[in-house]
Amino acid sequence: METVVSIPLSRTGAPMSRRRVLGAYLAEMRSECLRYLRAPGFILPMTLFSTVFYLMFGVLLNHGEASRYLLASYGAFGIMGPGLFGFGVSLAIERDGGLLTLKRALPMPPGAYLLGKMVMAMIAATIVMVLLLLIGVSLAQVVLSWGQVLALLLTGMFGVLPFCALGMFVGTLLKGQGAPGLLNLVYLPMAFLSGLWLPLSMLPRVLQQVAPIWPSYHLNQLTQAAVGLNDGPLLGHVLVLIGFAAVFLLMAARRLRRHG
For residues 121 and 164, the answer to whether their CB atoms sit within 8 Å is yes
- Domain locations along the chain: 18-259
**pLDDT given for residue 39 in this prediction:** 67
The dihedral sign for the CA sequence 238, 73, 78, 149: negative
Lowest mean pLDDT among 5-19, 45-59, 109-123: 5-19
Q: pLDDT band for 1, please (50, 70, 90 cuts).
A: very low
Q: pLDDT band for 108, please (50, 70, 90 cuts).
A: low
pLDDT tens track for 26-67? 777 777 777 766 766 667 777 788 898 898 888 877 666 888
**pLDDT given for residue 173 in this prediction:** 82
Which residues, including other chains, have CB under 8 Å from residue 144's CB and lie 6 or more apart? 133, 136, 137, 152, 227, 228
**pLDDT given for residue 3 in this prediction:** 42
Q: pLDDT band for 212, please (50, 70, 90 cuts).
A: very high
